[in-house]
């Protein structure tokens, strides 16, 4: 198969991987904060981080365009000061995929963090452990299954995102065209053969990923190497 046909798949995997790393960096601290906090501020943060699940992808993509577009204050700053363009670039695809997928990690990790016995954390503080040390040494090892589950959901959701990615990154061949966008473009162009090939590749990759994740989960639960 020609490389141009494989490019959307390769880009989609790269975008999903980058979005997963970004989601871990942003989502885990937020999930931990929400698991230990109450009040109006926590409720507002929880609402805002859940909103991408409810909003249509096109609405979320519109908000990202307003926030990061070249006419926005942030977009102008990034482009003029740092030379970074967001819209119609692979970076935009990563940000869009991150925005639609990070709520799944926050929800999963928050539930896992909330299950940790508070007395265990209190005992660690009495022994002089810092909050960062408690989080890394105690909480993450106890909650890794919930965190891993959330990261898997993030990767899968980012891999299949269409609406927000199309609005923010566009469909530039061999540059920003991810797999879902490539399938859509092939159908619009009446190229059913290419669309079928891309659909079969996407389905095969998705099934393979889910199968490997399930096998890994079972091996870990059984204590297998």
**Structural domain contains residue 204:** no
pLDDT, mean of residues 107-116: 87
d(CA 81, CA 109): 36
Q: Mean pLDDT for the chain? A: 85
The first and second tokens of residue 72, run together, are: 């926005």
**Structural domain contains residue 192:** no
**Structural domain contains residue 14:** yes
**Structural domain contains residue 220:** no
**Structural domain contains residue 129:** yes
Domain of residue 74 covers 3-177
**Sign (positive/negative) of CA torsion 57, 51, 77, 94?**
negative
> Tens digits of per-residue pLDDT, 127-137?
888 878 888 88
Tally of structural domains, the chain: 1
The dihedral formed by the CA atoms of 203, 209, 214 and 219, expressed in degrees to the nearest 10: 150
> Tens digits of per-residue pLDDT, 49-58?
999 999 898 8
**Structural domain contains residue 217:** no
Burial of residue 118 (CB within 10 Å: 0-12, 13-18, 19+) is exposed
d(CA 177, CA 12): 8
d(CA 178, CA 66): 22
| pLDDT band of 221, cuts 50, 70, 90 | low
pLDDT at 69: 83
> Tens digits of per-residue pLDDT, 71-100?
888 888 888 888 888 889 999 999 999 999
The dihedral formed by the CA atoms of 169, 196, 102 and 11, expressed in degrees to the nearest 10: -50
Placement of tokens 């990061």 in the chain: 68
Q: What is the SS3 assignment for 56?
A: coil
DSSP summary character for residue 175: T
d(CA 205, CA 117): 39
**Structural domain contains residue 112:** yes
* CATH, residue 100: 1.10.3720.10
- Tell which wins on pLDDT, 217 or 171: 171
**Structural domain contains residue 69:** yes
The residue among 44, 45, 154 whose CA lies nearest residue 109 is 154
> Tens digits of per-residue pLDDT, 206-217?
888 778 777 766
The first and second tokens of residue 208, run together, are: 């393979």
């Amino acid at each position: 198969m020609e490389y141009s046909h494989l490019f959307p798949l390769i880009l989609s995997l790269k975008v999903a991987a980058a979005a997963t790393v970004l989601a871990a960096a942003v989502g885990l601290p937020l999930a931990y904060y929400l698991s230990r906090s109450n009040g109006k501020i926590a409720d507002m943060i929880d609402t805002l981080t859940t909103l991408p699940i409810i909003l249509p992808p096109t609405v979320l993509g519109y908000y990202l365009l307003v926030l990061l577009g070249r006419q926005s204050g942030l977009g102008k700053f990034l482009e003029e000061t740092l030379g970074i363009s967001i819209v119609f670039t692979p970076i935009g695809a990563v940000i869009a995929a991150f925005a639609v997928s990070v709520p799944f990690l926050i929800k999963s990790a928050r539930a896992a963090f909330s299950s940790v016995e508070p007395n265990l954390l209190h005992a660690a503080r009495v022994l002089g452990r810092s909050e960062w040390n408690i989080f890394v040494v105690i909480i993450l090892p106890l909650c890794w299954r919930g965190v891993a589950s959330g990261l898997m959901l993030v990767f899968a959701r980012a891999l299949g995102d269409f609406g927000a990615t199309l609005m923010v990154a566009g469909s530039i061949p061999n540059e920003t065209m991810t797999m879902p966008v490539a399938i859509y473009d092939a159908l619009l162009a009446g190229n059913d053969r290419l669309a079928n090939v891309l659909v079969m590749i996407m389905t095969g990759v998705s099934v393979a990923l889910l199968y490997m994740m399930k096998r890994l989960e079972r091996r870990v639960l059984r204590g297998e190497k």
